[in-house]
Structure formats: structure tokens, C-alpha cells
Chain A
Amino acid sequence: MKLAYRMYAGPAHIGTLRVASSFRNVHAIMHAPLGDDHFNVMRSMLERERDFTPVTASVVDRHVLARGSRDKVVSNISRKGEEQRPDLIVSTPTCTSSILQEDLQNFVDRASLYSESDVIPADVNHYRVNELQASDKTLEQIVRHYLDRARREGMFNRSLTDAPSANITGILTPGFHNQHDCRELKRLPGELGVLINQIIPEGEFLKNLKDLPRAWFNTVPYREMGLMSATFLEKEYGMPYISTTPIGISNAADFITQVEKLLNLWAPVLLGRKLNYDLYVENQTKFVSQAAWFSKSIDCQNLAGKEAAVSGDATHAASITKILAGEMGIRVSCSGTYCKHDVGRFNEQVQGLCDEVLITEDHTEVGDTIARIEPSAIFGTQMERHIGKRIDIPCGVISSPVHIQNFPPGYRPFLGYEGTNQIADLIYNSFNLGMEDHSSDVFGGHDTKGISTKSLSDKKNIDWSPEAESEPKRIPGFVRGKIKRNTEVFAKQNNISEVTIDVMYAAKERSSP
């Protein structure tokens, strides 16, 4: 048992549900007690999703505890199959079903007999893996399932596409700026003359998965999810993959160099020429991305040597550390990640770019470290943003766990050359705000602080009885002043000289907007 106030990565089933609801026409059925289907709320809220989230719970209640699920899961699966005709139903275990040790495979086998949809059980263990690992695993499981089937049925086309093409692996709902990153990632290879073969799982139909191997290579923008599928495709079908995340100028250049290298394996044979992208990288860096110029400009010069702390998932934390230290000359005092399962790679990435590395899932440890370092800005998750609020340090959010604010309707990729511009803004604004706050304190503070209600007295003051005086303290701060004012106006109109609690409520009842 451990005492935990907050957690960075969610439980395993969330990862499975994210993959299932990212594919098109896939339905997930959770084997869970009432109230565990909170994923639907999250998705509907964060993504502002227009459609019903394709996740249902097969509810575990007392009867299930006493007699086992029996036919419940099976009938729920076949019912969903009839109602919504999904191509696939993913039977999703939760922590509850893990303990019950019910044989999901058996339910799935039985349900497959009745259901027109394919049915598979998600192969994740709640107590061994977290959300990210589970999403990785589930994606690989689904890819494997459909490729194996295509192979068995001889519906298989291994020939490479005529023009160079790539798959994008691991774009998920509700992922941190995934939608915008996806658009940017489609554009980038497009400019290199590389078509996108498939994007999985986001919006893809399962029947198309059989054509995955037709791409020349796979890209895995986020190491946390999609890596397993990419390694599977490499092992089974010899498809190379790129797991460099094109966040920041140097990473983007590195990414394009790798694309060039992979294409040139086949290009001389299939296209009759070798490809070279040096000029493209140079032009993008000079003219499309403002980040290179920004790092030379006076603005950025002022940031030189300022301290920052970075924390987030392995992909984003490592990339942002690289940008801060390598591209902007900011001193990264501490860089950390909660992705314990990817520590080796993370260490390798931030080697020599920061003073200390912090690998932990315990947010209090992160908070204490930040408080000790007292950086000028934090780049982290929503949790670090709140840590920053408490100790008055600005924070730019760079990674999940996220909040509704991190799903902007505006175009805000983190990847690619437009991403570099967005990140420059984010970094600059975080530091700049801190400076503004600081300088206004030096020059006597904001004049907006502690405005009290304007006195309404012309002749006599209105007194507040002690109880009534304490009452507004229970009211949220932002309406307190208004309530005090309304009450005093009401008291004046009714010639009441002392405000009591009853007068306050009477004023509330009378007040019309």
C-alpha cells in the first residue's frame, strides 16, 4: 500500500480504451463496477467530442460477485454488436476483473460465436502496467491480430507503394496536442515527397490494417505508444522505423536525415535517383521556423543562463530539455520523467543537458525538488503548473496529464517546424510573465490588489454584525465584493443600519441581476 495524492499515468484500462476509441468503429466493453466508465466523461470533455464515446461497461455488481458474470458479459457483447455493428469489440479488463480472475478469453470465445463483430480480449495486467504501456500493448495486439488474419486468408499485399510512403503510429485520443501534431506530421513528409500510407489508430478502419506493410517505413512520434507495433512490424515484415520525435529544430533535422536514409534504401531502385533533403532542412530552419532566429535575437539573449526545471513524459521532457539547453542557452537544473519503463533512453537523451535527472512517479518528490531549485520557470504537466502556482513560479505545460486547456481549438502542434514556433512562444511567454510579475513587485506591486468595497456612506456608515462579517469569508473570493456591495445597497434602501446574517439573505433573495 502506498499513500498517493496524485498520479501521472492512469490505470491500464485507460490505455486500452484510448486505443479502442481512436480506431473507427471499434467498441470497448469494460468489465467494471458502476462509475468506472469515467473515461467517457474525460474524452467527451477534453476532446469536446461530438460523438458518443464507444465504450460501455458490463457492470460488475453484487450478483456478479456471488455468481460470476455468467452470461452477462457475453450478452452485453452480443447486444452491442447488434446495436452498433462495430467491426471489433475489445473486451477490457479492469482492476476489479483482474481480482475476480474471470476467464475473459472464454467469454470472448463464446461471444464470437453469436456476434458478427470480431471480439478480442485486451491482454493487459492492471497491476503490472500503466496507461501508456497498456495503450502500446493494445495497439500492437490489434495490429498483430489483423495482419495475422490477412496473412491466413491470403488477403495480403506486401508490395511497397510506388511513391515513397510512411505510416504514423501512435496518434491517440485524448493525447497531448495529438491532433495538431498529426496534421503537422502529415505535412512534413508530404513536403519531402513522402505520402502517408496510414495513421494508426486515429480514425483508421480495421479493414485497412492489412495494408500497413505497404509503407516504406514507420514513424513513431511518441515513444510511449506505438513503439511495440513498430518493432513488431520490423520483426515480422522487415519494416524500418524512426522513433526520433521531431520536436525542436535539431530533432526535426535529425528526423529528416533519418527519413532520407531510409528512403535511399529503395529510392535508387524504385525511383531511379537518390534523395537529398539538406536544402529543405536549411530553408525550413531559416524561413519557416522562427525558432532559430529567435534563439539569436535579443529576447532570447535575456533568457541565457536562466534556470528551468522540466518534467513530463519521456518524449516531451527529453525534447524540451534539448530545446532549452541546446537551442536557447537556458540552464536546465533538473529534468525528469515519470515513465519509469523508458529510463534508459531518457537518460541517454538528456545526458549532459541538465544538472540532475529525476525519475519518479511521486509528484511530491517533483514538487520538493522544484521548491529546492527555485527555477525561473517550470516546464511540466498540469501538476507542475499547480506546484508553480503555489510557489509563484510560471509554468508552461508540455505533457500529459492534461486539462481542458491543453486541447486548444487553435492550431498548436509541438512537432515539426510549426511546432518549434509554438514552443518558442510557450517558453518565452513563461519566462516573460515571470519577469513582468517580478518587476512590478520591485516597483511597488500591482495596484489591483486588495480592492475593498467602495464605501457607500454619505452620512452614516453601515455596520456589519460579527456573524455577518464572518459569513462572506465562506463565499468564494471573486464574488465576495459584489455580495458585500449588494447587501449594503439593500440595507441602505431599507434604512437598515446594521447588517446581520438575515439581512444578507434577504438581500440575496431580493437581488435581481
Chain B
Amino acid sequence: MKTPETLAFECETGNYHTFCPISCVAWLYQKIEDSFFPVVGTKTRGYFLQNALGVTIFAEPRYAMAELEEGDISAQLNDQKELERICLQIRDDRNPSVIIWIGTCTTEIVKMDLEGIAPKLEKQIGIPIVVARANGLDYAFTQGEDTALAAMAHRCPEYIHCETNRRRQDEIGRIGIQTTSDNKSTSQGSELTRSNLVLFGSLPSSVASQLNSELKRQSISVSGWLPSQKYDELPGLGEGVYVCGVNPFLSRTATTLMRRRKCQLVGAPLPIGPDGTRAWIEKICSVFNIKPNGLEERESRIWKNIEDYIQVITGKSVFFTGDNLLEISMARFSIRCGMIVYEIGIPYMDRRYQAAELLLLQQTCVRMKAPLPRIVEKPDNYGQVQRMQEMKPHLAITGMAHANPLEARNIDTKWSVEFTFAQIHGSSNARDILELVTRPLRRGGGFTPGFRSLSKQTIGG
């Protein structure tokens, strides 16, 4: 392969498999504990949710379909009346603190004015109604969360500049970890810097608290998260608040926070993998004029700890077909682990929002002397499969539609959706990422060469 000097971006036909963006309700309803998500759409969307979310759907989820019938489509029924009936039913059944309507392709096409109806109904039933238009006409998979968080950003309270954050300070209490005293910028000694840093992106609460404590080590206190565990705990936003994303698919949210809420965006690589986490922390520290401490040692300790996994994947090649927008960060981390990335497919590439991550990817390639991968936006799965048949990567990170057929054609695969649901952020979870990535390569062990071939069947065509 020839190595280009800069990252090459290409754009294909957009015939690729991904999840419909309404799937974001699956993790958002779990994150925001007092929410309810009605998905306004047809049977098709309901069926998708039911199948995609398999097991969670049976655990009394706080989401449901507001299923449109023929009368709704042909406007024989009044949208507002219908939605009111549904919301009252939800209020009586579950009494949530917030109702988040998920608009779908259908509501777009019939031009149902969800944003117009919501404020009226909100007054009527006394529960906040947020509208997120997470539809497949505009977005892919994880971008659903982006639309929901952008809508929620409007609901965050206004940040008052002289607010003392007393309550939060008390909650956090004093920390037991030694902080360096040469921090000139902190005036309170071992007290935390009052930084007004809000992180955005939905993470499992244990991962969020891990990232909080990573920053706490640098004596930066995180003043809030978007989304918060409860709707009424949304962080204050406004001038003087710094915001930083933890996921690569949050462009709209970032834009909304900057333009509409006048926050300052910290453009950092994403805290995925020990290298990403370190770069993320360093960037945040630099914004607050703090000299990061102990990061290098910490990072090298993590690398040491995952050495056994790295040995499995060093020198192996990987191909991302692209369906969840985590691909750039995942590829950067894989390269740092010594893998060779053939292609990074990605549904949508926001080069401004991901600028720092792209730069880190480039630097990582230089550092590891790896060829710069092609970045293919809106990929064409058919072409990708042809390319994979030619290149024969050791590993394809791809959707379930292609996983079994590729395995049957002797290409090891890892199901990409798992990365969206697994805990992959922060230093502590580097092991978990590699646990996933190496699983197909470790399977069969390689200790018994004769047995490997049994599970493999080559198919012609």
C-alpha cells in the first residue's frame, strides 16, 4: 500500500447498514432515570426497536411506540389530540419528570409539527416535553443521541456567574488523593478548582464517575453532565462555562452549546483508550492553565497492564465498515496498539468537531510508522465487501448483517454495535475495549491448529 501524506477522505453512495437513530432511546432511557420516550412513528420503527433491543424490551422499559395509523397519516385524526391522549396515558402509567418525543421519518414526511405541539401540551399536562427528531432521513445510529442532547441543551438552566456551587462542593467533599501543591492556578490548595466544566455525552454512571475522578486527580471538578442522571439535575449553561464532549458523534450538541448557550467548547480528542484519555485530560488542563501531573506514568502503567492483549493484535490488520461514528477514535487506538487499519468507514465525518481526534490519528500513524488509512464517508457496503475479499483483513469491525457471512468467508469479525454499549471510555476501560477487539482473534486459541479449520468454511462466490 502507498502511504499518503495526509488523511484521505472519500465519499461513497451511502448504501450501508446501520441502526436507525431512534435506537438511542435504548440507552438514554436508562441514563435519564425519570424520563419517558414515546417514539412517534409506524410499526416499522416499533419492530426495529423490539428486535434491535432484544432483551431490554422485556424489562418494562420507559419507552414505547406512539404508533401512527392510517387516520394519522391521512390527517383524519388531529395530531395534537392524539398526542395529548398518549401523553396523559404515559403520565398516568409512569409519571415521568420529562417526556421526550422521538420524531421519526414518518413524522418528517407528513410534517407533523411536534415542536409546535409540544409547548402547548407541556402547559396542559404539566410535564416538560422535549422533541428530538432522530430520523433515518438525516441521521445514522448514534446521531440519535446527538439530536436528543441538542434538544435537552435548550432546557438546561442558565448559569449564574456568581453561583457558588456550594451544594455540589459539599457532595463532592474533600478528596483523599494527594494533589500537587505546585499548582499555581488553584487558590484553594487541596480544594478543587471551581472550573465550570460541563461534559456532554451519555455514559453509564460508573464510567461518568471514572472520568470525573480522572479529572479530580488534576484538581478539576466537573460541574455537571449533559445528560444528567435525573432531568431536574441538568447543569447550568451560559457564558463562562466550558463544555467538552466525550463522544465523537455529538456535533449538533456541540454546535448548540456554543451558538445558543454561549458556552466555550474544548476541542479535545476523545477519552477512548489510554492515549485518547490522556490527550483529553491534557487538553482540558491546558484550558484551565493547570499543569497535568502523573499522567505519563499513569498512561504507561495502563499500557503495561494491557500488554498481553496488545501482543495478540500487533501487526494484525483491521477494516471498519462504519456504522456508529466511533470509528475514528477506535481506529486511532487500534493503530496505537500496533494494528494496521485498511479503511475507516464512517456514516458522517464532522471534521471541525473531530479535528483534534483526526490530528491525533495522524500523529499516531506517524509515531507507529503505520500507513494513513482511507476515511470513507457514507460507505457503500457492497464495494466494501469486495475490497475486503481482496485485502483479506484479519479483522472486520462491522454490523450484524455482514458478520456471519464474512465469518463464513474466512474473515474474523467483531460486531460493531457492542462498542456503543460496552464501557470504552477512560483509562480503566482500555482493557475492556481490547477484550472485545481481541475476542474473535483469541477464539480458537491458535494452540490447536488442526481445530481452527473446522469452524471455517469457505464459500464460493
Contact = CB atoms under 8 A, between A and B. Distances in A.
Nearest to B81: A1
A238 interface: no
Contacts of B431: 509
A126 interface: yes
A41 interface: yes
A474 B136 contact: no
A136 B18 CA distance: 28
Interface in B135-149: 135-141
A401 B51 CA distance: 10
A76 B14 CA distance: 12
A56 B402 CA distance: 12
A50 B190 CA distance: 60
A35 B213 contact: no
Given A3-B64, A59-B15, A95-B44, A510 B138 contact: no
Interface stretch (A165-173, A190-198, A306-314, A497-505): A497-505
B18 A2 contact: no
B382 A83 contact: yes
Contacts of B18: 34-35
A52 B46 contact: no
A403 B50 CA distance: 11
Interface stretch (B66-74, B179-187, B282-290, B446-454): B66-74
Interface in A35-57: 35-38, 40-42, 44-45, 48-53, 56-57
B404 interface: yes
B14 A34 contact: yes
Contacts of A386: 58
Given A1-B82, A6-B50, A95-B44, A505 B67 contact: no
B405 A44 contact: yes
Nearest to B108: A65
Interface string B393-416: 000000111111100100000000
Contacts of A383: 58
A474 B400 CA distance: 28
B177 to A, nearest CB: 6
A53 B401 CA distance: 8
B83 A1 contact: yes
A127 B71 CA distance: 10
A2 B110 CA distance: 17
Contact of A3 (B38, B48, B213, B404): B38
B14 A61 contact: yes
Interface in B410-461: 427-428, 431, 457, 459
B124 interface: no
A37 B17 contact: yes
Contacts of A95: 42-44, 106
A61 B138 contact: yes
A10 B47 contact: yes
A509 B305 contact: yes
B72 A1 contact: yes
Nearest to B105: A33
A283 B205 CA distance: 64
B19 interface: yes
Contact of A44 (B46, B57, B83, B401): B401
B126 interface: no
A508 interface: yes
Contact of A34 (B20, B64, B110, B209): B20
A121 interface: no
Contacts of A478: none
A62 interface: yes
A480 to B, nearest CB: 12
B48 A1 contact: no
A100 B109 contact: yes
- Does more than half of chain A's interface fall in helix, strand or loop, or is it mixed? mixed
Contact of B46 (A7, A57, A100, A474): A7
Contacts of B58: 382-383, 386, 389
Contacts of B400: 41, 44-45
A60 interface: yes
Interface in A81-114: 83, 94-96, 98-100
B86 interface: yes
Contacts of A49: 404-405
B308 interface: yes
Contacts of B405: 44, 49-52
Contacts of B105: 33, 36, 60, 96
Interface string B71-90: 01100010000110110011
A13 interface: yes
A393 B313 CA distance: 46
A1 B67 contact: yes
Nearest to B21: A35
B210 A505 contact: yes
Nearest to A131: B47
Given A36-B20, A41-B399, A512-B305, A1 B68 contact: yes
A1 B77 CA distance: 9
A1 B86 CA distance: 8
B7 interface: no
A50 B457 CA distance: 9
A5 interface: yes
A355 interface: no
A41 B401 CA distance: 4
Given A1-B40, A45-B400, 20 more contacts: A1-B68, A1-B72, A1-B82, A4-B64, A5-B57, A5-B65, A14-B47, A33-B20, A34-B137, A37-B17, A40-B401, A48-B404, A50-B404, A56-B15, A59-B14, A83-B382, A471-B206, A502-B176, A509-B431, A512-B308
10 contacts: A1-B85, A3-B65, A5-B65, A6-B46, A41-B51, A59-B14, A61-B14, A126-B42, A502-B176, A509-B427
